[in-house]
């Protein structure tokens, strides 16, 4: 649509609308959808001219609390780079202010009553309705931390001490992704974790002001999946991860300050899947550390782009339940250890872009005897015949 596009006036009459999707338009502002009684899903994407969502002030668009987006469950806001406020503002908000600013434009009284999932990416929103009821998914990427901070401060004065924990905003949230959030520092991240007691999945990326070692991890002890990406301050795994007794999946990516996984890694005995990639200073060796009993739960291990990996770590032989091993883009890995034969449950070995290893791991070559027992060996996408295949072809496995 060309120019300053306008929505038709009759749109508000479509009271049975359940889903609205608006994308790649030149709209500078949008009509208020707040009063549509049946609207459950709202998606705004690639509307780079949009400056605000609602022409009214917060108080003016609110009406009765139960009439403000009464059915909205899922909200997506993507690539709306000029949208700094949900409402048309009479004065700008100072994005660099250190003030808490929980009363800007009356936003403390404005909240989505039943929102379950919220996705905001590449939208510099500093003022919007709050979202304490989220119980499924919150993803914030390249946006402001201010609405999140305001939401976490929504404790009501009428809440009794006995019910305080269950009433904390975001306490029922299951999935939380945070990536390059303006204003997110260690203190705010610490407070955030105190609220997320029901969290199952956490992904934290590109948060240069957050010191993971200083966080208190006990409140999210039920976490089952954690991804840490591009955290420059991370030198070793945070000691608090030892409290995550339900953690099944751990992924570490682009942490170039990371030097060691230990001593914390040895205590993550419930871990089933571990991936580490693009960590230039990481040493995988755990020399002098007694780790890994044979009952370890780890069944999938992926090592990618770790320049200091010149040989596989000695603790690999203790991963007796390991089923999948991925070795990807390891330029200095030259051979496989004899201890690979201890991995009797290993079902698949994937080798990609490991030039010094590729020839050695082909049939009848130098390292073949260490991996011939593995049923599936894939080198640069090509399947390699193993001893098991020879037995099958000879009829011994019939």
| Residue 266 or residue 116, greater confidence | 116
> In this model, does residue 394 exceed pLDDT 50?
no
The confidence band for 58, taking pLDDT boundaries of 50, 70 and 90, is low
- Looking at residue 4, what is its pLDDT? 54
Task: Check residue 46 and give left, alpha or beta (phi > 0: left; psi -120 to 50: alpha).
Answer: left
Report which listed range, 64-73, 214-223, 364-373, is most confident: 214-223
> In this model, does residue 393 exceed pLDDT 60?
no
- Looking at residue 125, what is its pLDDT? 93
The confidence band for 391, taking pLDDT boundaries of 50, 70 and 90, is very low
- Looking at residue 265, what is its pLDDT? 87
The confidence band for 172, taking pLDDT boundaries of 50, 70 and 90, is very high
**Average pLDDT of every residue of the chain:** 84
> In this model, does residue 6 exceed pLDDT 90?
no
pTM of the complete model: 0.86
29-33, 149-153, 252-256, 290-294, range with the lowest pLDDT: 290-294
The confidence band for 314, taking pLDDT boundaries of 50, 70 and 90, is confident
- Looking at residue 303, what is its pLDDT? 97
pLDDT digits over 72-119, tens only?
A: 999 999 999 999 999 886 454 444 444 444 444 444 468 999 999 999
The confidence band for 28, taking pLDDT boundaries of 50, 70 and 90, is confident
| Residue 276 or residue 287, greater confidence | 276
64-68, 93-97, 341-345, 347-351, range with the lowest pLDDT: 93-97
> In this model, does residue 142 exceed pLDDT 70?
yes
The confidence band for 317, taking pLDDT boundaries of 50, 70 and 90, is confident
- Looking at residue 64, what is its pLDDT? 55
The confidence band for 138, taking pLDDT boundaries of 50, 70 and 90, is very high
> In this model, does residue 258 exceed pLDDT 90?
yes
The confidence band for 389, taking pLDDT boundaries of 50, 70 and 90, is low
State the average pLDDT over residues 319-332.
94
Cβ distance 2 to 26 under 8 Å?
yes
pLDDT digits over 198-234, tens only?
A: 999 999 999 999 999 999 999 999 999 999 999 988 9
């Amino acid at each position: 649509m060309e120019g300053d596009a306008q929505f038709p006036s009759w749109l508000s009459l479509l009271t049975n609308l359940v889903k609205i999707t608006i994308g790649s338009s030149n709209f500078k502002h949008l009509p208020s959808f707040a009063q549509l009684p049946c609207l459950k899903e709202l998606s705004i994407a690639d509307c780079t001219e949009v400056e605000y969502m609602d022409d009214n002030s917060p108080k003016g668009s609110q009406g009765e609390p139960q009439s403000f987006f009464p059915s909205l469950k899922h909200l997506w806001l993507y690539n709306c780079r000029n949208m700094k406020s949900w409402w048309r503002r009479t004065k700008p908000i100072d994005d660099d202010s250190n003030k808490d600013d929980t009363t800007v434009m009356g936003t403390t009284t404005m909240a989505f009553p039943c929102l379950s999932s919220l996705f905001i990416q590449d939208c510099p929103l500093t003022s919007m309705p709050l979202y304490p009821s989220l119980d499924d998914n919150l993803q914030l990427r390249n946006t402001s931390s201010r609405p999140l901070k305001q939401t976490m401060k929504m404790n009501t004065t009428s809440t009794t001490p006995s019910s305080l924990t269950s009433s904390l905003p975001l306490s029922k949230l299951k999935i939380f992704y945070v990536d390059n959030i303006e204003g997110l520092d260690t203190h705010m991240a610490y407070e955030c974790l105190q609220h997320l007691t029901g969290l199952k999945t956490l992904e934290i990326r590109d948060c240069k002001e957050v010191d993971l070692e200083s966080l208190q991890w006990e409140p999210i002890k039920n976490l089952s999946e954690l991804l840490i990406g591009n955290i420059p301050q991370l030198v070793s795994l945070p000691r608090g991860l030892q409290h995550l007794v339900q953690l099944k999946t751990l992924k570490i990516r682009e942490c170039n300050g990371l030097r060691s996984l230990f001593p914390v890694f040895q205590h993550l005995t419930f871990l089933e899947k571990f991936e580490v990639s693009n960590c230039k200073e990481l040493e995988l060796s755990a020399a002098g550390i007694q780790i890994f009993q044979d009952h370890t739960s780890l069944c999938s291990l992926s090592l990618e782009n770790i320049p200091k990996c010149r040989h596989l770590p000695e603790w690999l032989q203790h991963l007796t339940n390991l089923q999948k091993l991925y070795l990807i883009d390891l330029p200095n890995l030259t051979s496989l250890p004899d201890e690979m034969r201890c991995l009797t449950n290993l079902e698949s070995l994937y080798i990609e872009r490991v030039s010094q290893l590729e020839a050695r791991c082909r049939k009848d070559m130098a390292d073949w005897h260490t991996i011939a027992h593995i049923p599936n060996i894939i080198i640069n996408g090509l399947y390699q015949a193993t001893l098991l295949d020879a037995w099958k072809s000879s009829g011994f496995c019939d």
